[in-house]
Amino acid sequence: MSTQAHASKAKRVPSKSVEIHIKRRANPDSPSYWEQFEIPYRPNLNVISCLMEIQANPVTKEGKPTTPPVWQMNCLEQVCGICTMVINGRARQSCSALIDNLDQPIKLEPMQKFSNIRDLVVDRSRMFDHLKQVNAWIELDGTHDLGPGPRMDQDDVQERYAYSRCMTCGCCLEACPQYDEDNYIGPQAIAQVRLFNMHPTGAMSRDARLEGIMQEDGITNCGNAQNCIKACPMGIPLTRAIYEENRETVVHGLFGWLKK
Please give the residue ranges that form the binding site for another protein (CB under 8 A).
89-90, 175, 177-180, 183, 207-208, 210-211, 214-218, 220-227, 230-231, 237, 239-240, 242-254, 256, 260
Cα–Cα distance for residue pair 160/28, rounded to 1 Å: 38
- The minimum distance between CB 139 and another protein, in angstroms, equals 14
In terms of CB distance, is 65 or 177 closer to another protein? 177
- The minimum distance between CB 64 and another protein, in angstroms, equals 30
In terms of CB distance, is 9 or 11 closer to another protein? 9
- The minimum distance between CB 63 and another protein, in angstroms, equals 32
Instruction: Determine whether 148 is exposed, middle or buried from the number of CB atoms within 10 Å of its CB (0-12, 13-18, 19+).
Output: exposed
Whether the CB-CB separation of 171 and 231 falls below 8 Å is answered with: yes
- The minimum distance between CB 145 and another protein, in angstroms, equals 28
- Residue 30: count other Cβ atoms within 10 Å of its Cβ: 10
Cα–Cα distance for residue pair 126/185, rounded to 1 Å: 9
Strands 17-24 and 106-109, sheet pairing? parallel
- The minimum distance between CB 260 and another protein, in angstroms, equals 8
In terms of CB distance, is 78 or 227 closer to another protein? 227
Amino acid at 176: C
Cα–Cα distance for residue pair 210/197, rounded to 1 Å: 9
In terms of CB distance, is 37 or 184 closer to another protein? 184
- The minimum distance between CB 176 and another protein, in angstroms, equals 8
In terms of CB distance, is 45 or 222 closer to another protein? 222
- The minimum distance between CB 27 and another protein, in angstroms, equals 25
What is the 3-class SS of 64-118, one letter each residue?
CECCCCCCCCCCCCCCCCCCEEEECCEEEECCCCEHHHCCCCEEEECCCCCEEEE
Reference 221, options 196, 252, 189; nearest CA is: 189
In terms of CB distance, is 45 or 210 closer to another protein? 210
Phi, psi (5° rounding) for residue 83?
Answer: -90, 15
**Cα Rg, the chain, nearest whole Å:** 21
Cα–Cα distance for residue pair 258/203, rounded to 1 Å: 21
In terms of CB distance, is 26 or 254 closer to another protein? 254
